[in-house]
């Protein structure tokens, strides 16, 4: 397959969630440009509407208006769909509000761990009642919170963001320390809007919000292109037989570019053009062309900056020369699927040598055409990664389903077709 053309990837999922929730807490009229319109973002919008907030329709190419107002206890259970970010950040935001809500999600989300967020929120003063051992459903009753300092057991932007949003919602200082630096979209957004937030290494301090909060003036936010969604098109261009593509307005936040750094070590060709700042987030256009890849070792300290891109990196490793090892990636077991187990099983199913050794994923590259059936487990990132692998010369990769791409990238398959031409 040769590649050509330009693509504007969908709006960043992480930033869209945060912008919608912050707008809902602000009691202002917030205009969001370039918001993600996929299922996960729609889950956040739906939940906020049930809490009494006015949130406009999410349609690609249209701005979204959020009109914040005092939150109310919803009349029915909040269904967060497949969105772990929706569930965890909403928990944090509700913790500082004098309301009560029950949260649930689809089958996949109900099995994902929630106590890692619930435990520190309870220490802040929220009342949270679980109906199972760890996951959803659970009920949260918010109210007056206390200032809080917490060291997270794992590097997790969702834990950090949940606590920071609780601090904003309850108007109390919060300090969060992590074993490694995770995505910093929350603190960047807060700083952009004038919050008193400071970062020191892997520690973030929210010391205060503007005196006018929550009755702030109207404001507007622009969402960069999603780095994780862009990774699939970068991967497709890297594996192509020739040509070049240009991805417009992609977020290149340093806590999200681990994928690009590892790909460069593997021999990839990705060039940043027109680097700029958009609402506190670094953005660039990415020019990508094919490359011959070599195996790589990805260390534990690198994982937080590329956790969502491991499926795409593993697929690229399957076409690289030599062995690749992704160290300490056990967190993949509690994603939308047992992502770690399915990665190894599916790579083997298409003829690639792959194994799990403790918490490491080991992949041995091959130049044989990938052929076989892939079980996605309803996991959008697995489905898209293996769809990219199926574009290689002689490859025939059958996906068990394609619907899950709508969780984060509804137009993925049409964009993949747009940049490629088979010869």
**Bond before 274 cis per omega within 30 degrees:** no
DSSP state, 227? Answer: H
DSSP state, 224? Answer: P
Rounded to the nearest angstrom, the gap between the alpha carbon of residue 30 and the centroid of all alpha carbons in its chain is 22
The verdict on whether 415 is a catalytic residue reads no
The phi-psi region of residue 328 (left if phi > 0; otherwise alpha if psi is between -120 and 50; otherwise beta) is left
The active-site residue out of 285, 308, 379, 411 is 308
The residue with tokens 């062309």 is: 289
Alpha-carbon dihedral angle through residues 341, 347, 352, 358, given to the nearest 10 degrees: -20
Structural contact between residues 229 and 413, judged by C-beta atoms closer than 8 angstroms: no
Rounded to the nearest angstrom, the gap between the alpha carbon of residue 104 and the centroid of all alpha carbons in its chain is 19
Structural contact between residues 346 and 363, judged by C-beta atoms closer than 8 angstroms: no
Beta-strand (E) ranges in 8-137?
29-33, 54-55, 64-67, 78-79, 100-104, 127-130
Neighbour-count burial of 61, counting CB atoms closer than 10 A to its CB (0-12 exposed, 13-18 middle, 19+ buried): exposed
- Indicate the pairing of strand 2-3 with strand 420-421: antiparallel
What gap in Å lies between CA 375 and CA 86, rounded to an integer?
26
Catalytic residue list? 308
């Amino acid at each position: 397959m040769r590649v050509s053309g330009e693509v504007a990837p969908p709006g960043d999922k992480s930033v869209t969630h945060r912008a919608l929730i912050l707008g809902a807490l602000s009691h202002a009229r917030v205009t969001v440009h370039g918001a993600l319109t996929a299922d996960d973002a729609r889950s956040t919008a739906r939940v906020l509407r049930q809490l009494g907030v006015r949130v406009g329709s999410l349609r690609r190419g249209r701005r979204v208006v959020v009109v914040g107002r005092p939150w109310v206890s919803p009349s029915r259970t909040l269904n967060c769909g497949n969105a772990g970010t929706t569930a965890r950040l909403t928990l944090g935001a509700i913790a500082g509000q004098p309301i009560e809500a029950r949260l649930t999600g689809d089958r996949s989300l109900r099995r994902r761990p929630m106590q890692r967020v619930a435990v520190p929120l309870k220490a802040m003063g929220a009342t949270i009642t679980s109906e199972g051992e760890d996951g959803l459903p659970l009920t949260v009753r918010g109210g007056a919170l206390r200032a809080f300092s917490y060291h997270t057991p794992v590097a997790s932007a969702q834990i950090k963001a949940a606590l920071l949003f609780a601090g904003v919602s309850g108007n109390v200082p919060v300090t969060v320390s992590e074993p490694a630096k995770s995505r910093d979209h929350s603190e960047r957004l807060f700083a952009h809007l004038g919050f008193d937030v400071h970062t020191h290494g892997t520690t973030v301090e929210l010391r205060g919000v503007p005196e006018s909060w929550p009755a702030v003036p109207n404001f507007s936010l622009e969402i960069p292109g999603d780095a994780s969604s862009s990774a699939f098109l970068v991967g497709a261009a890297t594996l192509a037989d020739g040509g070049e593509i240009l991805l417009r307005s992609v977020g290149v936040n340093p806590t999200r570019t681990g994928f690009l750094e590892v790909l460069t070590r593997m021999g990839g060709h990705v060039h940043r053009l027109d680097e700029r700042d958009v609402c506190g987030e670094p953005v660039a256009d990415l020019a990508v062309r094919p490359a011959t890849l070599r195996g790589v070792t990805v260390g534990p300290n690198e994982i937080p900056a590329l956790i969502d891109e491991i499926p795409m990196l593993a697929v690229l490793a399957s076409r690289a020369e030599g062995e690749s090892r992704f160290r300490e990636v056990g967190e993949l077991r509690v994603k939308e699927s047992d992502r770690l187990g399915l990665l190894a099983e599916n790579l083997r199913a298409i003829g690639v040598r792959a194994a799990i050794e403790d918490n490491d994923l080991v992949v041995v590259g091959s130049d044989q055409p990938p052929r076989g059936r892939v079980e996605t487990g309803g996991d959008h990132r697995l489905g898209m990664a293996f769809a990219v692998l199926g574009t290689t010369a002689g490859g025939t990769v059958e996906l068990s389903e394609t619907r899950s791409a709508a969780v984060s990238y509804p137009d993925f398959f049409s964009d993949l077709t747009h940049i490629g031409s088979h010869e």
